[in-house]
Structure 1
Amino acid sequence: MTTTTPSRVRRTALPWPALLALGTAVFITSLTETLPAGVLPEMSADLGVSAGAAGQAVTVYAAGTALTAVPLAAATTSVPRKSLLLAAMTVFLVANTLTAAAPGYAVLLAARFLAGIAAGLAWAILAGLARSIAPAAREGRAIAVTMTGIPLALSLGVPAGTLIGRHTGWQAAFAAVSVATLAVIGWIARSVPAAHRPESADEAKATVPRTLRVPGVAAVMTVVVTFVLGHTIVYAYIASYLRQAGLGRSTGTVLLLFGAACLAGIWFVGRHVDRGLRVLAWSGAALFTLSTAAFALTTAPWAVGAAAVIWGLGWGGVPTLLQTAAGRAGLRHGRAAADTAQAVLVTLWNVAMMLGGIVGGVLLEGLGATSVAVAAAVLGATSLLVVVLARRHAFPAHPTAPPAPGGVTTPAPRTP
């Protein structure tokens, strides 16, 4: 009979309390980014601005993240990761509280920009921190648990925030996020262990150009831009697409199907990412391409519903897959390079989201709803092509462990 010793359990079990705390931080930052979309009418009326002007609360948040994630990550490479995350979440708490108490439009935008800065820094280190506290060969699953906060924010958090905002005011929704942020700060402080690993002088020189020259990093970033841009183009305008297709009343159902499939996708990816990164990456890109092509070719209700499910299955695990791929590629040059790669990913992710809103709007107004789906399908196919070609470093079939001090890279241990 085989027995498992307590020490063996400690070496292989995931640190669930710590990972759930990190996942809650991801949930809160993701929710805060998109929450204005759910309370836009209330914000617009209360602040005395147009709906378009109120919508810039989302834009300035993304801009704060995109403009500062890389320089802040580079400037804080020597700061302990746990302490840095606690500092970022504290600034985030202040920014959200200021948003809830904003006396006017200008203060609101300034608070949202500050929140975006704090979230960008937190996002740049969350995946690396999850990876550093996980057992060997389970780093991908640890990142998956942390990234679960993204689909939960979209499928549960935003509707809940919208409900609060419509019944008690949009300020109450942001105040609730502040209360949750305060709680998660205490949770992180109590449950997340400090990650100590001194960097060599060479590893600390992890500039963006140098990190992008690490084999595999540039290919991962290419997929980030094309995949996120394609997803945002169709996600931002799915309601308009369905309305033009005569399916406007089905918007809630389509988004529910998409959200449920996202949760299934991230669960599956979390279980298999450590040993199947490549297969999962090209499968996700293929499913996304198939679903958006279906949106372009047919508006039959059953087909649109099926496409929404396929879309969610393909997209749900993408944050985990790309964070894992970027971290693995960057680790070939040390932890600092891995953290810089994560910061670049966060920046490009938010840039792609901003561009997706612009490009999707231009296509929708100029060429109609079908063009939105066609553009997303083309971008999905481009992502698939890059994943297929980048089989050696960015999306390898067999993951490798970080290089030893002598520079020898060895295969990563297999999960039992």
Structure 2
Amino acid sequence: MPSVTSSREPAAGDRLPVLGLLALALATFLTVLTEALPAGLLPPISRDMQVPEAWIGQYVSVYALGTVLSAIPLTAATQGWRRRPLLVLAIAGFAAANSVTALSESYGLTLAARFLAGIFAGLLWALVAGYATRMAPAALRGRAMAIAMVGIPLALTVGIPAGTFVGTLFGWRLAFGLMSGLSLLAMAWLLACVPDFPGSPPERRTTLAAVARRPGVRAVLWVTLTFVLAHTILYTYVAPLLEPFGLAGRLDVVLLVFGLVALAAVWVVGALIDRRLRELTLASAGLFAVAVVVFGLGRTPEAAWAAVVIWGLGWGGAATLLQTASAQAAGEAADVAQAMLVTVWNLAMAAGGVAGGLLLDTQGAGAIPGPTLALVIVALVVAYAAKTAGFAPARSR
């Protein structure tokens, strides 16, 4: 029987449960790494599986598809489940899927495992934000979210390069095997340091429509859609965008700088979010807009470097800001709202890849900044207008 203290809400004077939040950060790190690592290992996987690289690229696509299709229905279906077993189950899904990927000789079987991993990712993303805020004192919930979400930029700046290095040097199967081992570590860490919480009783469960009608939720979803869509267009096709600046051959350094600046932005957001959610969101969108303008009008390498740094500052804290805003707007229905946000986020990523490709094919890389800027401006306007709910000043919440 769970102890009485395992599900209590923290008192306002409590400290942040750092070890538990770091366990959640490891979970988000694993989720992003599991999704994106195939992109860094396309050539060796392609040679070993004896299929074209474009087919291996679908490992990422089916993962995203699994996330989009599963986040909302799984979250709705498991509202009554206890939270920690559900979280551990999601991580166990990564361990199983990565083990199959490491051992499988069949392209079809591996594709199915990747789809399964995406399903568990949809469940995990819906859980983490609500979990982080529930573990923390009310006055520190934004900072708790920042710690839990630090796994995202760490996976992009450290995890994927390290995984690519290991996979290239020692074999791609070892890289996925190590991720399975890391998943087992995450499960043990979660069980040791993360408290359990009860699911929602039947009378407190809510529908998607009811959550969407809550003040501020739709504003957060609109900002998420436009902001992530803009970022994905720019990030996916940053290589051709850098060619006129003479930096296409230094893409690895550019992305490293972007990632490091994004990490710094996460730290800033984590320090201020509990008092300045609205201001940080507006600043984030504003910085992103400035970066896009510099990309569009700049002509020198120095201008491109400046745009990358400003872009990293604007993007780095976005996941923390948007998930915190969603959790605050949805209240006790945070898990359902997060599932909606995860679905919108992944749809925006998919649409960004398609939209950016069409722009590149039909008009060239020079056409990318214009529509991207328009999307960021929409995000900025919606966030600014959400003064009473969604992105309200701290004193109004």
| Shorter-chain TM-score above 0.5 | yes
Distance 2:175 2:369 in 1: 33
Give the partner amino acid of 1:367. Answer: Q
- Taking every aligned residue pair, what percent have the same amino acid on both sides? 46
Matched ranges for 1:215-294 at <5 A = 215-243=215-243, 245-294=245-294
Match of 1:4 in 2: none
Is residue 266–residue 317 contact of structure 1 (8 Å, CA) maintained in 2?
A: yes
Cα 1:399–1:362 change in 2 (3 A) is: farther
- Partner residue, 1:405: none
Summarize the alignment of residues 7-406 of structure 1 with structure 2, pairs less than 5 Å apart. 11-196=13-198, 199=201, 201=203, 203-204=204-205, 206-243=206-243, 245-331=245-331, 335=332, 337-398=333-394
Distance 2:94 2:281 in 1: 32
Deviation digits for residues 6-51 of structure 1, max 9, x if unmatched?
Answer: xx99933100110000000000101111111100111122112222
SS at match of 1:12: coil
User: One-letter code of the match for 2:109?
Assistant: V
Check 1:299–1:56 CA distance in 2 against 1; reply closer, same or farther (3 A cut). Answer: farther
- Tell me the residue number matched to 1:403: none
1:202-231 per-residue CA deviation (whole Å, 9 max, x = no partner) reads: x31x21111111111001000111001110
Aligned letter for 2:232? T
Contact 2:244 2:299 in 1 (8 A): no
Displacement of 1:197 in angstroms is 7.2
CA distance in 2, matches of 1:25, 1:43: 25
Q: State how far apart, in whole Å, the 2-side matches of 1:397 and 1:110 are.
A: 45
Contact 2:80 2:202 in 1 (8 A): no
Q: Partners of 1:312 and 1:154 in 2: how far apart?
A: 12
Give the match's secondary structure for 1:214: coil
Shift of 1:80: 1.1
1:14 is paired with a residue of what secondary structure?
coil
Deviation at 1:200, TM superposition (A): 6.7
How many Å separate the matches in 2 of 1:198 and 1:100?
37
Q: C-alpha displacement at 1:392, in angstroms?
A: 0.9
Deviation readout 1:316-366 (Å, 9 max, x if unpaired): 0000000000000001xxx2x211100001111111111111111111111
Aligned to 1:3: none
Q: Match of 1:406? A: none
Deviations 1:213-257 (A, max 9, x none): 111100100011100111011111112222354321221221122
CA distance in 1, matches of 2:244, 2:395: 45
Query: SS of 2:145's equivalent?
Result: helix
Q: 1:399 to 1:348 in 2, by over 3 A?
A: farther
CA displacement at 1:91 relative to structure 2: 1.5
Q: Is the 8 A contact 1:278 1:396 kept in 2?
A: yes
Structure with a larger share of its residues in helix? 2
Query: Does the CA-based 8 Å contact 1:23-1:149 persist in structure 2?
Result: yes
The answer (yes or no) to whether the contact 1:131–1:140 under 8 Å persists in 2 is: yes
Q: 2:207, 2:239 → 1: CA distance?
A: 41
2:6 is matched with none
Tell which deviates more after alignment, 150-159 or 191-200: 191-200
Q: Where in structure 1 are there 5+ consecutive unaligned residues?
A: 1-7, 401-410, 412-416
Q: Report the Cα distance in structure 2 between the residues aligned to 1:309 and 1:49, rounded to whole angstroms.
A: 38
Report the Cα distance in structure 1 between the residues aligned to 2:187 and 2:105, rounded to whole angstroms: 26
**Paired amino acid for 1:87:** L
Instruction: Count the aligned residue pairs.
Output: 388
What CA distance in whole angstroms lies between the structure 2 residues aligned with 1:399 and 1:69? 32
After superposition, the Cα gap between the structure-2 partners of 1:37 and 1:198, relative to the gap in structure 1 and judged at 3 Å, is closer
CA contact (8 A) 2:11 2:137 kept: no
CA–CA distance in 2 between the matches of 1:374 and 1:381? 11
Deviation at 1:127, TM superposition (A): 0.7
Deviation for aligned residue 1:375: 2.1
RMSD: 1.6
Q: Scaled by the length of structure 1, what TM-score is found?
A: 0.90
